[in-house]
Amino acid sequence: ETGVTQTPRHLVMGMTNKKSLKCEQHLGHNAMYWYKQSAKKPLELMFVYNFKEQTENNSVPSRFSPECPNSSHLFLHLHTLQPEDSALYLCASSQDHGEGPGELFFGEGSRLTVL
């Protein structure tokens, strides 16, 4: 138990569906992250939020839309995805971002399959 909870753990969706991934952290952290991990590839940083503000978007396609209503919750809204978007989506949090080296706390991930 890392203090970061992701739901759902598994999701299967068609290319025309709209779904959302949810992440919640109970650690009192101020920064939250979305990473994507495809098979046989390293983790790719997608988005960074610090104090609810998006501070990084690593050229992620607009079919992925993040939302951070408060420092404890992070969503990833999915629409019109492609089969190559199938991957493990990992949420992480840290005390803050850009204030020195720190520790990332990851959730267990949401395994997404796009048909």
Partner 1 sequence: LAKTTQPISMDSYEGQEVNITCSHNNIATNDYITWYQQFPSQGPRFIIQGYKTKVTNEVASLFIPADRKSSTLSLPRVSLSDTAVYYCLVESSNTGKLIFGQGTTLQVKP
Judged by CB under 8 A, which of 1, 14, 16, 42 binds partner 1?
Answer: 42
Sign for the CA dihedral angle at 92, 29, 77, 9 comes to positive
Judged by CB under 8 A, which of 97, 113, 114, 115 binds partner 1?
Answer: 97
Judged by CB under 8 A, which of 45, 64, 75, 87 binds partner 1?
Answer: 45
Instruction: Specify the 3-state DSSP secondary structure of 77.
Output: strand
CA–CA dist 67, 78 (Å, integer): 11
Residues 47 to 86 in contact with partner 1, rule: CB under 8 A: 56
CA–CA dist 79, 58 (Å, integer): 18
Does 112 help bind partner 1 (rule: CB under 8 A)? no
Contact in structure between 27 and 4 (CB atoms under 8 Å): yes
Nearer to partner 1, 80 or 113 (CB): 113
Query: Alpha helices, DSSP H only, in the chain?
Result: none
Q: How do beta strands 110-114 and 10-13 pair?
A: parallel
Site string for partner 1, 1-20 (x = CB under 8 A): -x-x----------------
Q: How many residues bind partner 1 (CB under 8 A)?
A: 28
Give the interface with partner 1 as residue ranges (CB under 8 A): 2, 4, 31, 35, 42-43, 45, 56, 88, 90-92, 94, 96-109, 111
